[in-house]
Each structure stands twice: as structure tokens, then as C-alpha cells.
Amino acid sequence: MAEAGFPDVTISTYFGLAAPPNTSPAVLDRLNSALRAISSTPDIEKKLLALNVMPMSVSRQEATSFMRQQSEKWGPLFRTLELQDK
């Protein structure tokens, strides 16, 4: 972004797993536990780092909070640009 003339803007890419809104908390907890366990194994962590992906193991609540913060941060810009899903 600095090269484009916006030195104070930082953008990161992140990956996550989402489920339908009415998925039971027990299923969500099992999925979160499995994903956290897999992403923290040395072999998977090494492969992710080789792809310049920094594995971060977060709780469902932390992921939800992060997504909410990102929506609040970037939502106004997307609405201003009138971006639409095609």
C-alpha cells in the first residue's frame, strides 16, 4: 500500500473456517478443536510457514470478534465503492 501512496494503510490476508448460522455450539467446538490441533502440528506448521502463512490458533470467540472488527473497519469503504458480489 505504501508503494501505491498509502503508507499508513496495512492490509493482511487471513483464512478461516465458517459454518452455517444454526450449527450447534458442540459441533463448532469440535471443528475448532480439530482445526487448532491440526494447524499446530510441526509438519503442518512447517508447510504453512513455507507458504508464508503464519498459523494462528484462536478460539471461536476470538475469530468472531476479529471478523466483526474487520467488518467495522472495511465495511464503510466497501459500501462507498459500491462493491457487489457477482
pLDDT for res 31: 92
pLDDT in tens, 11-59: 777 888 889 999 999 999 999 999 889 888 999 989 988 988 888 888 8
**How many other CB atoms are there within 10 angstroms of residue 63's CB atom?**
16
DSSP at 53: -
Q: Can you give the residue ranges of every domain in the chain?
A: 25-81
- pLDDT above 80 for 73: yes
Q: What cell was used for 60?
A: 471461536
Largest CA distance in the chain: 47
Q: What is the pTM of this model?
A: 0.65
Inter-residue contact 73 to 62 (CB < 8 Å): no
